[in-house]
């Protein structure tokens, strides 16, 4: 196949699917990834597509703003959404915890499932949480748990406010796990509520290893408040993950 033919097919594929990864294209054309990268460079110079990390995006997809979501679902609503994906994410996250860890566990539906799936080694770790329901579930499993003080936000069952910030400022975690309502490379990890964002931000800043748990429906979505830059944490995700995210070095995609 001539190079010009291959490049035209690349433009067509990216146009139909919005994105394509270098590895996918290299396999499709049975050629090297370096050849595909040179093709993408030429096509971008010609204005036919946009080069992104790990692949290419159509011009329309690259310039379209991420959807903005301002509302905060209740915990009951969250529990009913993407259950299989959340369970896969929670299982992977739970497997990361070791007996000597000092762990921050955020409020949220995925972290609730994490508590259910903690294995024997993880039950020996110590947990700090801003979730009353997570604290009760951890205590029921015989785990050492510390609940930070503050104001209880009924809708998400999260403890927030000055008391929570003051308590978190004194802790240093080996691992921190936070949920997110939105995730984009440009705006980072976001959540609708300022008080919850402050708790997530400080907890992750005080964590040696930082993990954000978000299924694929949250990717490409922006909510009002950023609590972490995208590159500052490892994203654990599952579902129909777009290639523009699955190829990033700080993204762990698990199978639901």
User: What's the pLDDT score for residue 146?
Assistant: 98
- Measured between alpha carbons, how far is 148 from 104 in angstroms, rounded to an integer? 10
Q: Is the pTM of this model over 0.85?
A: no
Long-range contacts of 246-250 (CB under 8 A, 24+ apart): 246/21, 247/21, 247/22, 247/23, 247/53, 247/54, 247/55, 248/53, 248/54, 248/185
> Domains in the chain, ordered, with CATH?
3-63 (1.10.10.10), 75-254 (3.40.50.1360)
CB 255, CB 88: distance < 8 Å: yes
Instruction: Tell me the pLDDT tens digit for each residue of 162-178.
Output: 999 999 999 999 999 99
CB 75, CB 152: distance < 8 Å: no
User: What's the pLDDT score for residue 14?
Assistant: 85
The residues of the chain scoring below 50 in pLDDT are: none
Give 228's strand partners: 189
User: What's the pLDDT score for residue 134?
Assistant: 96
User: What's the pLDDT score for residue 54?
Assistant: 73
User: What's the pLDDT score for residue 244?
Assistant: 85
Q: Residue for token digits 């995609």?
A: 253
Percent of the chain at pLDDT above 90? 68
User: What's the pLDDT score for residue 56?
Assistant: 83
User: What's the pLDDT score for residue 155?
Assistant: 81
User: What's the pLDDT score for residue 254?
Assistant: 97
Strands of the sheet with 251-254, listed across from one edge: 144-147, 126-129, 102-105, 173-179, 207-213, 234-238, 251-254
User: What's the pLDDT score for residue 79?
Assistant: 67
User: What's the pLDDT score for residue 141?
Assistant: 96
- Measured between alpha carbons, how far is 226 from 193 in angstroms, rounded to an integer? 10
């Amino acid at each position: 196949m001539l190079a010009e033919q291959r490049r035209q097919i690349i433009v067509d594929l990216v146009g139909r699917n919005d994105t394509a990864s270098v590895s996918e294209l290299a396999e499709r054309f049975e050629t090297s990834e370096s050849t595909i990268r040179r093709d993408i460079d030429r096509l971008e110079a010609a204005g036919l597509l946009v080069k992104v990390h790990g692949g290419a995006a159509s011009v329309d997809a690259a310039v379209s703003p991420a959807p903005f979501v301002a509302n905060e679902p209740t915990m009951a609503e969250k529990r009913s959404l993407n259950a299989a994906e959340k369970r896969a994410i929670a299982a992977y996250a739970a497997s990361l915890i070791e007996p000597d860890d000092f762990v921050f566990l955020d409020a949220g539906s995925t972290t609730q499932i994490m508590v259910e799936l903690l294995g024997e080694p993880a039950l020996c770790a110590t947990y700090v949480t801003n979730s009353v329901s997570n604290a009760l579930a951890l205590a029921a499993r015989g785990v050492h748990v510390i609940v930070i003080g503050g104001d209880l936000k009924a809708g998400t069952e999260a403890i927030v406010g000055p008391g929570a910030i003051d308590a978190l400022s004194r802790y240093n975690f080996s691992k921190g796990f936070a949920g997110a309502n939105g995730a984009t490379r440009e705006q980072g990890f976001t959540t609708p509520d300022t008080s919850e964002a402050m708790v997530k931000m400080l907890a992750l800043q005080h964590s040696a290893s930082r993990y954000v748990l978000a299924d694929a429906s949250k990717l490409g979505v922006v909510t009002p408040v950023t609590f972490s830059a995208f590159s500052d944490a490892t994203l654990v995700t599952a579902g129909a993950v777009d290639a523009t995210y699955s190829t990033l070095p700080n993204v762990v995609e698990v199978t639901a």
